[in-house]
Amino acid sequence: MPASTELLTVAVPKGRLLEESSHLFERALGVSPRKLLEGTRKLAADAPAAGLRFISIRAADVASYVEHGAAAVGIVGLDVLREEPRDLYEPLDLGIGRCTVIVARPKGAAPLPRGVAPRVATKYLSLAAHHFARKGVPAEIIPLHGSIEVAPSLGLADAIVDITETGETLRANGLVIEEEVLQVSARLVVNRVALKLHAERLRRLIASLREVVAAPVRKGR
Ligand SMILES: Nc1ncnc2c1ncn2[C@@H]1O[C@H](COP(=O)(O)OP(=O)(O)OP(=O)(O)O)[C@@H](O)[C@H]1O
Ligand SMILES: O=P(O)(O)OC[C@H]1O[C@H](OP(=O)(O)OP(=O)(O)O)[C@H](O)[C@@H]1O
């Protein structure tokens, strides 16, 4: 197929970004990846009228698919992009999946004695290490994959670095925010080679999405 008629592959994250990403594509191009992919075990669905093929990918893997060119375009949280920097073009803040990477500690915990390295539980190994290094604090990073907020109450950690949105999970586990590390929203990412090969089509796709991101959402959506 010539480069001009080939479907452009869009890596759409499963999980909590799927719904809002799908709304953006539906408003911009009239196609919803969620609707195309739901109710099937197929992980790819074509939208030929839009010139796109959507693939359903775990949020943590989208950047790899796009960086290596398996997908031309993807949607990734800024937390993921800053945790593991990639050679990707990041043309658009999609304004969805807003949350904050924070340092939290048990409510009422005494300040840590100077010279004692805090034990920090997190899945953001690099963001956490850089955050404490910038402050000159020699933290011991304890890698976890989830349910981070329970670690301090079990004596596994003195602090956590994790995402918060409503603050509900922190409150329910007796934690309070000590510092903000990174304000997060989802970004559109584009493969650098694809950007050269399909410059005009990608320029139009980015422009359509930029328009709906900037436009207020009509009531009832
Ligand atoms: N509570 C939250 N509120 C808003 N956005 C969030 C929240 N938690 C995560 N996010 C954002 O959504 C992205 C995807 O999160 P999601 O929970 O769907 O996947 P994940 O658990 O990181 O990955 P996996 O697919 O491996 O389970 C995160 O990288 C972050 O940018
Ligand atoms: O401030 P809140 O609105 O309570 O949201 C924060 C929670 O959301 C995310 O967890 P998720 O539900 O993705 O579970 P996991 O990371 O433990 O898999 C994050 O890791 C927090 O635990």
Q: Which of 90, 147, 163, 166 to mutate to test the pocket of ligand 1 (most atoms within 8 A of CB)?
A: 163
Kindly report each contact of residues 126-135 with a partner whose C-beta sits within 8 Å and lies 24 or more positions away, as own/partner: 126/83, 126/84, 127/79, 127/82, 127/83, 127/101, 127/161, 127/181, 127/182, 128/103, 128/161, 128/181, 131/103, 131/161, 131/179, 131/181
Model confidence, pTM: 0.94
Q: Which of 165, 176, 184 to mutate to test the pocket of ligand 2 (most atoms within 8 A of CB)?
A: 165
149 pLDDT higher than 60: yes
Is the distance from CB of 90 to CB of 78 less than 8 angstroms? no
Residues 35-56, mean pLDDT to the nearest whole number: 93
HSE, side-chain direction, 13 A CA sphere, residue 148: 27
**pLDDT tens-place string over residues 160-206:** 999 999 999 999 999 999 999 999 999 999 999 999 999 999 999 99
- Residue spans in the chain of domains classed CATH 3.40.190.10: 8-97+185-214, 99-184
Residues 17-28, mean pLDDT to the nearest whole number: 97
Q: For residue 172, report the distance from its CA to the centre of ligand 2, in Å.
A: 12
Question: pLDDT band at 1, cuts 50/70/90?
Answer: very low
CATH classification of 8-97+185-214, choosing from 3.40.190.10, 3.40.50.620, 3.30.230.10, 3.90.380.10? 3.40.190.10
**pLDDT tens-place string over residues 87-124:** 999 999 999 999 999 999 999 999 888 888 999 999 99
CATH number of 99-184: 3.40.190.10
In this prediction, residue 81 carries a pLDDT of 98
| Of residues 86, 135, 80, 124, the one with CA closest to residue 102 | 124
Ligand 2 atom closest to the Cα of residue 162 is 20
In this prediction, residue 3 carries a pLDDT of 47
